[in-house]
Amino acid sequence: MTEQLLDAACELEAPDVPAHAMDKVLDQYEAKVYKNRKKHMVTVDHTLETPQEIAANVRTVPGMLTHRGCCFAGCKGVVVGPLKDALAIVHGPIGCSFYTWGTRRHKARAGEDGLNLVPYTFSTDMRETDIVFGGEKKLMAAIEEGIELFHPNAVMICSTCPVGLIGDDIHAVAARAEEKFGVKCIAFSCEGYKGVSQSAGHHIASNQFIRRVIGEDDTPPTGKYSVNVLGEYNIGGDGWETERLLRRCGIEVVSVMTGDGSVADMRRAHTAGLNLVQCHRSINYIAEMMNTQYGIDWIKVNFVGVNATCKSLRAIAQYFGDAALVDRVEAVIIDEMEIIDEDLQYYRGKLKGKTAALYVGGSRSHHYQQLLRDFGVSTVLAGYEFAHRDDYEGREVKDSIKIDADNKNIENITVAPVDGKYHVRFSPEKLEELKRDIDVFEYYGGMIKEMGNGTLMVDDLNHFETEEFVKMLKPDVFFSGIKDKFVLQKGGILSRQLHSYDYQGPYAGFRGAVNFGHDLVMGLYTPVWSKVVPPWRTEPALAGTIGGEE
């Protein structure tokens, strides 16, 4: 039954995307911007002989109302922020600290040590005098106060724009503080101007975790099969649902990076049997480096979507290669499917044939297409905010990515096997076999391979393009974030936030899929839409004028 159900969902009619939609948007730009933005847009065509290429992870055009954040946001807001036992001090003026306070819904509950610092935000609140005379002393005092007051397992110091410019040596302060107070202090040079988006911050955070956290505590896992879940930030409880599933299958989760995660768990991450990479963009660095240092293999998983979850669980079982685990995983899948089956069918009945556009993050736009497909919803446009080319085109293009001025400033650390902690899991022959049999074994194929011919892939979609594409593509729902939510929904089209889930979720795993189906149906069938018909539903595309061209 399960298989039939899943297969049925995969048969999707190709969405109806107007030809030349892309050109019609680009035509409105002046020549320079046209040239720049054209490289960021692809009308997917799998019939071409050479794979299509998209420009990504390059500078945003100023003044274009990008939805991208900064390096600091990627480091403090995304990766470091969810750690519940670390005290993350924002070294800088007050705004940056305030804006990362409770902004992302990475949920956490106190662990055994009772620590949960996620509801807090800490800042050195730099003033004019600190900018002039330097803020190192203030930072040192703030660390001391933080440790005295909250007894964290570690202190994470995240710098903001002015810190790098005035030359505060936060790494030296961290080292002194660590020595003085006996609490691990890690500095992150994640000034907002670094890189071209939050992606730079993910990399900087990953480097420090590899250098200073992972590999310190050798307490082995108790279970036979153990994993780390990388790039799962527990938005709306997704991580909890993922962990529940893994545990049900008899798979021990050593650490989660970093949703509801802790420094304490991360220190023993190297003892796990396998790394699962949920968000490839933000954390593939750690998976690769841990592979070199400790010999831990990784697979790209996706627990968003019913099919995707089944596939991921099976890949894990296949990797460990134990018949008992394979059987257990199948049993869990059958049981979970049985629970959601009726709901899934109901919501699919309501959603089949709808179309969607997605513009989020560096992985979600791909992950959620898989969940949407489970409900018979096809995607007409998808784009990432801060992904790199490999997230669009697959890891095979990694080596051909040009390093530009913005990216070469982001430190790329080289690691070597760690004595006594490096363990070979499988023979080279066996590894080759795994690579052949498991298509996600140390490989991510990117988003494009799963998008239909004629659909659009747009990188760093801006406010203006969003409006124009919506007019032409007329999707039933647009998945993005708070910044374009109101433009869309006041225009009469359903907007669902995939960063914060509009205070709903979890959407991961089997039961999460039902939540998602419910929320989507509820959104599409709300009575208010009968009162507000978007004008472009009735008018021909591009009839209006655009700003500046009266």
Partner 1 sequence: MARRNEPPQVKERGALVDLNVNPCKMCMPMGSSTAAFGVQGCVTILHGSQGCATYIRRHMATHYNEPVDIASSALTEQGTVYGGEGNLHKGIDNLIRLYDPAAICVSTTCLAETIGEDVAGMLGRWREKHPDSKVTFVPVASPGYGGSQFDGHFRFLRALMESVEMRPQDAPPRQLNLVCGPMSPADMRFLKRLVASFGIEAVVVPDLSENLDRARLPVYDRTPAGGTPLARIATMAGSALTIELATFVPDGCSPGAYLHDRFGVPCTRLNLPVGLRDIDALVDELTAFAGVRMPAALAEERGRYLDAMIDSHKYNAEGRAVVFGEPDFCYAAVRLCVENGVVPVVTAAGSRCPGFEEELRREVREAADRFLVDRWEVLEDADFGDIERLAVELRANVMIGSSDGRRIEDARGIPLVRCAFPIHDHVGGQRVRTLGYEGSLTLLDRITNALLQRKEEGFRAAIRDEFYDNTLLSQAHRHRESASHELLAEANAALAEDRATAPGAAQAARPAAPGAAQSSLPVILSGARSAESKDPALALARKTAQHPCFNGGCASENARIHLAVAPACNISCNYCVRKFDCANESRPGVASAVLSPNEAFERYRLAKERVPNLTTVGVAGPGDALADWERTRATLELVAQDDPDMTFCLSTNGLLLPRFADDIARLGVTHVTVTMNAVDPAVAGRIYRFARLDGVTYTGEAAGAVLLANQIAGIKRLVELGVAVKVNTVLVAGVNDGCVEDVGALCAKLGAAYHNVMQHIPVAGSVFGDLPQVSRTRLDEVRKRCEAHLPQMYHCRQCRADAVGKLSEDLVRAVEEAEGRRAAEPVLADPVVATLVVPRADGARTRHAPLRIAVASRSGSVVDAHFGQAASFMVYETDGTVVRYVETRETERYCTGQEACDPRAKADRLERSLAAVRDCAAVLALRIGQAPADRLRACGIAPVCTCDAVRPAVLAAAAELSAGMTTIEFKEAASL
CA distance linking residue 300 with residue 332, whole number of Å: 20
Quote the least distance from Cβ 99 to partner 1, whole Å.
Answer: 4
Tell me if 14 contacts partner 1 by CB under 8 A: no
Site pattern 416..455 for partner 1 (x: CB under 8 A): ----------------------------------------
Among 3, 119, 416, 420, binds partner 1 (CB under 8 A): 119
Question: Does the annotation mark 70 as catalytic?
Answer: yes
Residue 42 CA, chain-centre distance (Å), reads: 22
- C-beta of 44 vs 253, nearer to partner 1: 253
Token pair 């680009």 is at which residue?
26
59 near partner 1, rule: CB under 8 A: yes
Residue 270 known to be catalytic: no
Per CB under 8 A, the segment of 174-182, 287-295, 303-311, 540-548 that binds partner 1 is: 540-548
* Encoded tokens for 514: 């039902």
Among 40, 104, 268, 348, the active-site one is: 104
The minimum distance between CB 93 and partner 1, in angstroms, equals 4
Q: At 142, list the tokens.
A: 């703030």
Nearer to partner 1 (CB atom), residue 144 or residue 450 = 144
Q: Which of 41, 44, 69, 268 touches partner 1 by CB under 8 A?
A: 69
Under rule CB under 8 A, how many of the chain's residues touch partner 1?
108
- Decide if residue 498 touches partner 1 (CB under 8 A): no
Would you call 202 a catalytic residue per the annotation? yes
CA dist 2 and 348 (Å) reads 15
Tell me which residue of 70, 42, 69 sits closest to 55, measured CA to CA. 42
Q: Which residues of 409-429 are buried (b: 16+ CB within 10 A; e: fewer)?
A: ebeeeeeeeeeeeeeeeeeee
Supply 318's token pair: 């296949």
Give CA–CA dist 25/33, Å, rounded.
Answer: 12
Per-residue DSSP letter, 144? H
Tokens coding 490 = 């006041």
> Of 56, 70, 190, 357, which residue is the catalytic one?
70
Q: Residue 216: is it exposed, middle or buried by C-beta count within 10 angstroms (0-12/13-18/19+)? A: middle
Mask 321-350, x = binds partner 1 (CB under 8 A)? -------x--xx-xx--xx-xxx-xx----
Please indicate whether residue 104 is annotated as part of the active site: yes
The amino acid that residue 315 corresponds to is A
Q: How far is the CB of 329 from partner 1 (least distance, A)?
A: 11
Active-site position among 37, 105, 202, 281: 202
Residue with smaller CB distance to partner 1, 71 or 257: 71
Instruction: For residue 483, state whether it binds partner 1 (rule: CB under 8 A).
Output: yes
Q: Which of 30, 49, 399, 429 binds partner 1 (CB under 8 A)?
A: 30
Out of 99, 181, 422, 443, the only residue in the binding site for partner 1 (CB under 8 A) is 99
For residues 124 to 153, the per-residue mask of contacts with partner 1, x marking binding by CB under 8 A and - elsewhere, is xxxxx-xx------xx-xx--xx-xx----
CA distances from 63 to 34, 48, 71, 359, 405 (A): 14, 35, 18, 19, 21
Least spacing, CB of residue 121 vs partner 1, in Å: 6
β-partners of residue 256 are: 229
**Dist. CA 194–CA 196, nearest whole Å:** 7
What distance in Å separates the CA atoms of residue 423 and residue 277, rounded to the nearest whole number? 20
Catalytic positions: 70, 73, 104, 202
